[in-house]
Amino acid sequence: MVVARCLGWVLLVHQTLLVAVWDPSKLPPSPLDKSEFDYIVVGAGSAGSVVASRLSEDPNVTVLLLEAGEVDSQTEIHVPLAYVDLQLSPVDWAEQTVPQKHACGGLEGRRARWPRGKVLGGSSSINAMIYVRGNREDYDRWREMGAEGWSYREVLPYFKKSEDFRGRGDDEFHGTGGYLTVSQSTQFRTLAARSFVEGTKELGYEEVDNNGRSQLGVSFPQYTIKDGWRLSTARAFLHPVRGNRENLYVVTGKSVRSLSFAPGASPTVDGVRVVDTKDCANGEEKVVKARREVILTASTVGTTKILLLSGIGPKGHLEDVGIPVRADLPVGENLQDHIMVPVGYVAPRIPINETISLSEQHASESGRGTRVPGHWRRGRENRPRFRHHLLRRKSRPEAHEEHQRIAGGGTANVWRGSNG
Binding site listing for FAD: 119, 256
Q: Which amino acid is at 289?
A: K
Question: CA separation (Å) from 27 to 20, 174, 354?
Answer: 11, 38, 45
Q: Give the H or E element holding residue 154.
A: helix 152-162
Is residue 210 a contact partner of residue 197, using CB atoms and an 8 Å limit?
Answer: no
Burial class (CB in 10 A: 0-12, 13-18, 19+), 393: exposed
CB proximity list for 103: less than 8 A, separation 6 or greater:
110, 112, 339
DSSP code string of 100-146: PSSS-TTSGGG--EE--B-BTTGGGGTS--B-----HHHHHHHHHTT
Q: Which residues are annotated binding-site positions?
A: 119, 256
| Whole-number Å distance between alpha carbons of 311 and 332 | 13
DSSP secondary structure string for all residues of 1-33? -HHHHHHHHHHHHHHHHHHHHT-GGGSPSPGGG
Asked if 205 and 386 count as a contact pair (C-beta separation under 8 A), the reply is no
| Rounded distance between C-alpha atoms, residue 68 and residue 252, angstroms | 6
What pairing do the DSSP bridges indicate for beta strands 254-262 and 95-96?
unpaired
The per-residue b/e assignment along 22-33, b for 16 or more CB within 10 angstroms, e otherwise, is beeeeeeeebbe
Cα 83 to Cα 85: distance, rounded to the nearest angstrom: 5
Beta carbons within 10 angstroms of residue 387's beta carbon: 8
For residue 48, give the nearest of 32, 73, 67 by alpha carbon.
67
